[in-house]
Structure 1
Amino acid sequence: MAALRLYVIGGGAAGFFGAITAAQTHPTATVTILEKNRTVLNKVRISGGGRCNVTHACFDNRQLVRHYPRGEKPLKSLLTQFSASDTVDWFNRQGVALKTEADGRMFPTTNTSETIIDCFLDAADQLGIDIRTSCGVESITPNADGSWQIKLLTGESLTADRVLIATGGYPQRGSYDWIPEQADELITPVPSLFTLNAPASYLLPLAGVSVPMAAVSVVGTKQEQRGPLLLTHWGFSGPAVLRLSAWAARDLAQVDYQFTLRVNWVPDQNEAQLRATVQTFRQQNGRKQIFTQNPFGLPSRLWQALATEAGIVDEQRWADLPAKPVNRLIESLTNSRFAITGKSTFKDEFVTCGGIDPATLNLQTLESRNQPGLFFAGEVLNIDGITGGFNFQNAWTTGYIAGKNLGV
């Protein structure tokens, strides 16, 4: 009997993990990776600032799935087959030790993504996986005998017994047209994980200033997130903004990224507590200048900007602060508002919300329900997480499941 011909389209994280798992599970099959770019694992190389945030130290699947704006329900099932713990164990078996940072992100102890890339390339080499670059796919069509015809952009035609599509997400709906239709309509893709542009913000001169905890929300919606916030020369970034962009991805796309952002710089205190803090501070520090003494631990430049916005002038003392500026200061601290007029990609870590609906697949195998022999893994699915290693965990989990079943 001829060896099964297994093709993986996409030489990224999910594609490599799927190909390696397929080759390990089905040693008599031939496994080929087709990558449209000249190099493979490009997103792995740049992720985490070049360190590769492999996964997150969240080993309770019920907690882990809460970090995915899209895909929580299917992931509950998928993670029972390959979890974050399995990811750590897999890399340990490959000789790649991982470390956990204070925020839960996990990286190779070498602090370089090249360790992960070398791991995959070495494994592929040992397993005899054929890696073909500059091989963009034009179309995939089923043959009468159950095999698949893969036509490359070069004009070359390949015959596959099984195909795993792991191309990552596409920003535009038309980019999915080469993929055979599934039972349900494609979920329209929109961007996720992006920063916010606020060109009229009075805080632009403070680029680089960050606060460890702020609450950011989209005015007129229930979308709110908390976390570190970073001021940039174009607007706002940091984990709080990235989480907001992920959870509110479709809401923000609908308004073409034109909305009002509300920032609460001291979210751990309500208005009554803030007023009490200010009153106590005034009594104890009345002769001190407001610009140089703040009771909330905010960065000095940010504090001065917020105070100025509240109408407080340089050299004004706490004891001399009238009631109206106090009210405006409380407003600045809890209800700063900024006009957002667009978005920017967060570094190079673009993530797509949308794609192939997991409901069209067998969640035990990730095989298409109406296109037997066609499998999916990674970001091409409508599963996406916030930053922190969650999107790579999706790649490992779905790549493993699809790869394991690719030769069945």
Structure 2
Amino acid sequence: MSQNFDIIIVGGGAGGFFTAINCAEKNPKLKIAILERGKEVLTKVRISGGGRCNVTHACFEPNELVKFYPRGEKELRGPFHQFCSGDTIEWFQKHGVELKTEDDGRMFPVSNSSQTIIDCFTTATKKLGIQVLTGQSVQSIYKSETPDGNFWKVETQNEKYLCEKLVLATGSNPKMWEMLQEFGHSVVSPVPSLFTFNIKDPRIKELPGVSAQVSVKVKDTKLTSTGPLLVTHWGMSGPAILKLSAWGARILFEKNYQFTIFVNWLNDIDAEDAEIILKDLKQEHSKKTVSKKSPFEFPNRLWESLVLASGISEETKWADLSKNQLQNLTNQLTNAQFQVNGKSTFKEEFVTAGGIDLKEINFKTMESKIHQNLYFAGEITNIDAITGGFNFQNAWTSGFIVANSI
């Protein structure tokens, strides 16, 4: 016997829960179920933001917010005008969760615990009578035409379900993408996004933990990025690198993660200006040792390393710098070349670029253009963002729009 529902949502993550709760609040008569393949729901919410759950970002202007999405920038403009970060804050407030903004714009629950968000969702589903069914791994989906109309039939390993409207919120799940391809949907093949660069280089070997405001570019591409860079035991990380990995997800995949980057440790000061600054320092500090103190806004350890890499000994005084050494130092500061060999996953916030082709989705409703009554929420589509609460904002917005249109 199959169990009948008005709406079935596949995927017990952020997008799935948000969709279900908003559907039930807008129409309490609806019979709704969430099917989750794992034993637990909301696992990604639990570990996000180091266990604090980075709910959204304090960027309230839709046209600005879309710029944080390497894939989906154009498509999300309309949806963000319907439900943006300000609406997210208000929604959680109404549901008893206060959010706070950190210096970098990321927003967290005031409690500093992702459990607050999980409790908010699970309490709401209980109150609204939404059935949350765990251990339900979907094996097949098909359309069933009966005299009473069209239904979706969903089969898990041990149950059969019937519903009128089907919402897929399964994130980066290859099995789900395969099923959708059988249904005539195109899937943009997934590649990793948000990863750190593996670099073995004597200049940074002794510097794990050092960070600086930089600009970075990838050789022979148009990829550039600015922001904090963090030196790690295996290479380079930090927002500047993660942004590059997100915007360059496809290009760097094609390069098999073997490529060269240029780092400008002075961020927006170019080689010409840097050389003028160094010449002034040479006049001003003629009797001082070059390697001793960083004249720029980054740590002394990094300065010392770049000075040595320019062929300048530890004892050399500013007055004794040759023209050649000055040029070398300018180059190390503004155009340092590093060879990248491979990548490492960034924490557990693994994000993929890829998913259902955006041309096949109606962004006013998040409904499939190929099949009626089939909707998508969250990362199952070919939308992804850089780190900072943006991937969750896409889940809330798409879930809200699905609920609205249903």
Aligned counterparts of 1:216 and 1:113: Cα–Cα separation in 2: 33
Whether 2:67 is the aligned partner of 1:88: answer no
Aligned counterparts of 2:401 and 2:313: Cα–Cα separation in 1: 62
User: Following the alignment from structure 1 to structure 2, what is the Cα–Cα distance between the partners of residues 60 and 165?
Assistant: 28
Contact 1:193 1:242 survives alignment (8 Å) = yes
Conservation of the 8 A alpha-carbon contact between 1:207 and 1:233 = yes
Distance 1:197 1:175, change over 3 A: farther
**Structure 2 counterpart of 1:51:** 52
Corresponding residue number in structure 1 for 2:302: 302
SS class of match (1:164): strand
The 5-angstrom pairing of residues 83-122 of structure 1 reads: 83-122=84-123
For 2:399, the equivalent position in structure 1 comes to 399
- Alpha-carbon separation, structure 1, partners of 2:314 and 2:294: 13
Structure 1 letter corresponding to 2:159: E
Aligned-partner Cα distance in 1 for 2:30–2:7:
7
Letter in 2 for 1:157: K
In 2, Cα distance between the equivalents of 1:230 and 1:374? 43
Amino acid at match of 1:169: S
Alignment of 1:69-218 (within 5 A): 69-145=70-146, 146-152=150-156, 154-170=157-173, 176-179=177-180, 181=182, 185-200=186-201, 202-211=203-212, 213-218=213-218
Post-superposition CA distance 1:310-339 (Å, at most 9, x none): 111112211111111111111111111111
Distance 1:254 1:53 in 2: 31
Q: Which string of whole-angstrom CA distances, capped at 9 and with x for unpartnered residues, describes residues 322-371 of structure 1?
A: 11111111111111111111111110111111101232122221111221
Once structures 1 and 2 are overlaid, which stretch shifts more, 56-65 or 192-201? Answer: 192-201
Confirm or deny: 8 A CA contact 1:51 1:113 kept in the other structure.
yes
Deviations 1:207-259 (A, max 9, x none): 11111x10111100010000000001111100000100111111111111111
| TM-score, length-scaled by structure 2 | 0.95
> What is the CA-CA distance between 1:159 and the residue it aligns to?
1.5
Deviations 1:85-139 (A, max 9, x none): 1111101111111111122111111111111111111111111111112211111
Give the aligned partner of residue 5 of structure 1. 6
> How far is 1:272 from its partner?
2.1
- Give the whole-Å Cα distance in 1 for the aligned partners of 2:208 and 2:13: 33
Gaps of 5+ in 2: none
**1:383, distance to aligned residue in structure 2 (A):** 1.2
Give me the whole-angstrom Cα distance separating, in 2, the residues matched to 1:363 and 1:184: 16
Counterpart amino acid of residue 120 in structure 2? C
1:273 and 2:277 are equivalent in the alignment: no
**How many angstroms does 1:386 deviate by?**
1.1
Query: 2:77 aligns to what SS in structure 1?
Result: helix
Separation (CA, whole Å) in 1 of partners of 2:41 and 2:90: 24
User: Pairwise CA RMSD of aligned residues?
Assistant: 1.7
AA aligned to 1:179 is L
- Whether the aligned pair in 1 keeps the contact of 2:230 and 2:238 (CA below 8 Å) is yes
Q: Is the 8 A contact 2:56 2:392 kept in 1?
A: yes
What is the CA deviation profile of residues 13-69 of structure 1, one whole-angstrom value per residue up to 9, with x for unaligned ones? 111101111111221111111111211111111111111111111111111111111
Output one character per residue of 1:246-289: Cα deviation in whole Å (capped at 9) or x when no partner: 11111111111111111110022122211121111121211211
Is the 1:210–1:230 contact (alpha carbons within 8 Å) kept by the matching residues of 2? yes
1:182 is displaced (CA, Å) by 5.8
Distance in 2, Cα, partners of 1:182 & 1:383: 20
2 CA distance for matches of 1:199 and 1:402?
47
**2:13–2:43 contact (8 Å) kept in structure 1:** yes
The 1-side partners of 2:205 and 2:11 are apart by 40
The equivalent residue for 1:284 is: 284
| DSSP-derived class of the 1:22 partner | helix
Query: In the alignment, residue 36 of structure 2 is paired with which amino acid?
Result: E
Aligned twin of 1:254:
254
Cα 1:201/1:387, change in 2 over 3 Å = farther
CA distance in 1, matches of 2:247, 2:210: 24
Q: Is 1:139–1:179's contact at 8 Å kept on the other side of the alignment?
A: no
| In structure 1, C-alpha distance between the alignment counterparts of 2:297 and 2:69, rounded to whole Å | 32
Find the aligned partners of 2:287 and 2:260 in 1 and give their Cα distance. Answer: 37
Answer yes or no: is the 8 Å Cα contact 1:262–1:336 preserved in 2.
yes
Gaps of 5+ in 1: none
Q: Secondary structure at the match of 2:186?
A: coil
2:350 equivalent to 1:355 = no
Distance across 2 between alignment mates of 1:179 and 1:151: 15
The CA deviation at 1:201 is 5.3
Q: Is the 8 Å Cα contact of residues 271 and 331 (structure 2) preserved in structure 1?
A: no
Q: Which residue of 1 aligns with 2:232?
A: 232
C-alpha distance in structure 1 between counterparts of 2:292 and 2:49, whole Å:
36
CA distance in structure 2 between the aligned counterparts of 1:52 and 1:400, rounded to whole angstroms: 19
What is the match of residue 315 of structure 2? 315
How far did 1:179 drift?
Answer: 2.7
Q: Percent identity among equivalent residues?
A: 47
Map 1:327-366 to 2 at 5 A: 327-366=327-366
TM-score (norm 1): 0.94
